[in-house]
Structure 1
Amino acid sequence: MLVGEILRTKAPEVISVTPGRTMVEVLRLFRDKNIGFVVVARSPGETLGTLSERDCCNAVADYKSEAPLMRVADFMNRNVATCSIKDRLSKVMEIMTNRRTRHVLVMDNDTIVGVVSIGDVVKHRLEQSLRNEQVLHDYICGTGYH
C-alpha cells in the first residue's frame, strides 16, 4: 500500500502552529482537535519543525514548571521525519521504528500533503490482515469463488 492511498482515507488538513505559541496553547489545541502532533511554521507551506505530545512531556521533564509558558520554538523537534506520497507503508513503518517517532510528514516534492501517524499504520495493517484472513478462510472452505 502506498502512502498516498492512506492519505485518501483521512482528512487532508495538516494543522500547524507558529513558533511563538506557548506549550499550554498547543496542548489546548491538541485537546480541542483530538490530535497529538502539529507542524511548526510561520507561514503556509513552511516547516520549521514539528511538535508532538512526547515533545511536550520531554519539555516538562527538562524545564519543570517553566515548560507550560515556554514558546514552541524553544522545544520543537527540528529533525523532521518525512516520507514521499509514493512511498510504501513498509517504508513509513521503518522510518517510525528507526526514528522512534509516531508521526511522519508526507511530502509531494517540497509540499506537505499530509501526516501519517502510527494509528494510521495500525488501522491499515489491521484492514489488510482481516482481508487476508477472509481470503484464506474462503480458500480453505471453498467459498468466495464466482
Structure 2
Amino acid sequence: MPTSYQAPMKGDDDKKSWVSQSKQTNMATEPGNVSKLLENKGDVIFSIRPDQTLHEAVIILKEKRVGALIVTDEAGELIGILSERDIVRKLAETPGQTLPQKVEDLMTKKVEVCAPDETLISVLARMTNGRFRHMPVKCDDKLCGIVTIGDVVHYRLNELEHEALQLKQMIVG
C-alpha cells in the first residue's frame, strides 16, 4: 500500500497488485479505524535524529520512498516530524544552504498523533483541517505506526466500494 505519491520508478511493475474487494472486507460492518489500517499496512516507522542533517533526511526519504520521517530522541521518543513539504519550503528560503542544516531546526515540534482506536474519518478530518499528510500513531505512549492521508483515503474508498456493493446486493436480491 503506498504511503504517499511517488513518481513511477524502474521495477514498480514487479510489486504485488492490490485487490480492493475480499471476503474479509465484504463482510466487515463497522467503520474502519487506525488499527485496522495498520493491520494491512504494517507498523514500519522511518525515523531520524534531530542532530542529523537535511541531506541525510533527503537520502532516507528517497531510499525508503516515503514523504515524512519521524524525529526521535535517543530513547526513541517522538519529538518531531519532518516532511518533504518542510524541506521544499526551506529550499526556497535558503537556496544552496539548506542541506547542511540540522533536522531539529526545521522539524515540526508540535506533532498531531492518533490512537489505534480512532476512526479513519476522524483522522482524515484532522489531517484535512490541519493541512498535513502524515500522522504518527501512539499505543500506550509508544510509537506504533504512521498513517498517511493516502492510506486513509484508500481505506475509505474500499469501505465506500463495499457499501455500494452491499446496496447493490440488497437491490438485486
Q: Same fold (TM over 0.5)?
A: yes
* 2:134 alignment partner, one of 75, 85, 103: 103
The 2-side partners of 1:45 and 1:18 are apart by 9
Tell me, yes or no, if structure 1 residue 83 matches structure 2 residue 109.
no
Secondary structure of 1:12's aligned partner: coil
1:51-95 deviations in Å (ceiling 9; x for gaps): 011111111122221111111111011110111111111110121
Corresponding residue for 1:5?
36
Corresponding residue for 1:65?
96
TM-score when scaled to structure 2? 0.78
Structure of higher RCO (CA pairs closer than 8 Å, 6+ residues apart): 2
Q: Would you tell me which structure has more helix in proportion to its own residues?
A: 1
After the TM superposition, which segments of 4 or more aligned residues of structure 1 sit over 4 Å from their partners? none
Name the aligned partner's letter for residue 20 of structure 1: D
The unaligned stretches of length 5 or more in structure 2 are 1-31
- The structure-2 alpha-carbon separation of the partners of 1:38 and 1:93, relative to structure 1 and needing over 3 Å to count, comes to same
Shift of 1:44: 4.2
Name the aligned partner's letter for residue 17 of structure 1: I
Secondary structure of 2:97's aligned partner: helix
Corresponding residue for 2:72?
41
* 1:132 alignment partner, one of 163, 166, 173: 163
Tell me, yes or no, if structure 1 residue 23 matches structure 2 residue 57.
no
The 2-side partners of 1:130 and 1:94 are apart by 20
Computed over aligned residues only, the root mean square deviation of the Cα atoms, in angstroms, reads 1.2
1:16-67 deviations in Å (ceiling 9; x for gaps): 1011221121111111111111111122431120001111111112222111
Name the aligned partner's letter for residue 101 of structure 2: M
* 1:52 alignment partner, one of 83, 97, 102: 83
**How many residues get paired?**
142
The 2-side partners of 1:116 and 1:133 are apart by 25
The unaligned stretches of length 5 or more in structure 1 are none
TM-score when scaled to structure 1? 0.91
* 2:150 alignment partner, one of 119, 127, 130: 119
Q: Percent identity?
A: 32
